[in-house]
Amino acid sequence: MRSRKLASKLLLVGLAVLGCAETSGAVSMTPKPPGVVTPPVITASFAADKGRYGDPIKVYLAAEHKDGAMQMIAVQVSQVAYGDYPPNWTYLKEGNRERFVGYLQWNTGSSQFIPEGTRMSITISVLDQWGNESNKVVLPYEFVSGKSSPSVLPAPFDQADAPRLGYISIVLRNGIKSEGRR
């Protein structure tokens, strides 16, 4: 519960910074138009639930917004024995503001060893230019040893080569402390 409150506060701070950074060239939130504005909707999502540490993870996502105003994808990772990481933001290109089908690539290898059995949840939502947030999807993931088996992609991701929407730039940390260290 505490981690959700922290993630919500970080999201609000991030949105406030974006709104104040208009003169520095950053994308800013625009004023809401009069009337009812509906939030974006994630219509499909998929990621393998297991894989080998160091192998890229592809997180597939499909979303739409009837007002054609989607602006960014938010990714929050919560790792067992470590906790929550700061959110990762991927800004959408102009052609993806009304509807998109694609994937985010997460290159998990780093200088720190992450042990087999490390589990995490990947929470994803989409925000529009007015700060409205879509439904959230939560995808579980666990690192396992051995060769990763290829996943059969479900619809709509199996129709054609889905484009890469961007990268997840979260660097994982080893949440397990070894004996003798303090």
Handedness of CA 88, 79, 47, 117 (dihedral sign): positive
Condensed to tens digits (0 to 9), the pLDDT of residues 84-115 reads: 999 999 999 999 999 999 999 999 887 778 88
Domain assignment present for residue 139? The answer is yes
Domain assignment present for residue 29? The answer is no
Strand pairing class (137-143; 50-51): parallel
Span 4-27, average pLDDT: 44
Q: How confident is the model at residue 68 (pLDDT cuts 50, 70, 90)?
A: very high
Domain assignment present for residue 22? The answer is no
Asked if residue 62 has pLDDT above 50, the reply is yes
Condensed to tens digits (0 to 9), the pLDDT of residues 132-153 reads: 999 999 999 999 987 666 678 9
Residue 69 lies in domain:
40-167
Q: Count structural domains, the chain.
A: 1
In this prediction, residue 21 carries a pLDDT of 35
Span 109-133, average pLDDT: 91
The 10 Å CB-count burial string (b at 16+, else e) for 48-60 is beebebeeebbbb
How far is residue 124's CA from residue 76's CA, in Å, rounded to a whole number?
Answer: 6
> For the ranges 13-27, 92-106, 116-130, which has the lowest average pLDDT?
13-27
How far is residue 182's CA from residue 110's CA, in Å, rounded to a whole number?
Answer: 22
Burial class (CB in 10 A: 0-12, 13-18, 19+), 45: buried
CATH of the domain at 87: 2.60.40.10
In this prediction, residue 17 carries a pLDDT of 40
The whole-model pTM stands at 0.77
How far is residue 150's CA from residue 156's CA, in Å, rounded to a whole number?
Answer: 17
Domain assignment present for residue 116? The answer is yes
Better pLDDT: 70 or 112: 70
Of 76, 79, 87, 77, nearest to 175 (Cα)?
Answer: 79
Domain assignment present for residue 24? The answer is no
Burial class (CB in 10 A: 0-12, 13-18, 19+), 100: buried
Domain assignment present for residue 174? The answer is no
Domain assignment present for residue 28? The answer is no
Domain assignment present for residue 142? The answer is yes
Better pLDDT: 87 or 16: 87
Q: How many other C-beta atoms can be found within 10 angstroms of the C-beta atom of residue 118? A: 20
Q: How confident is the model at residue 23 (pLDDT cuts 50, 70, 90)?
A: very low
How far is residue 125's CA from residue 74's CA, in Å, rounded to a whole number?
Answer: 5
Asked if residue 18 has pLDDT above 70, the reply is no
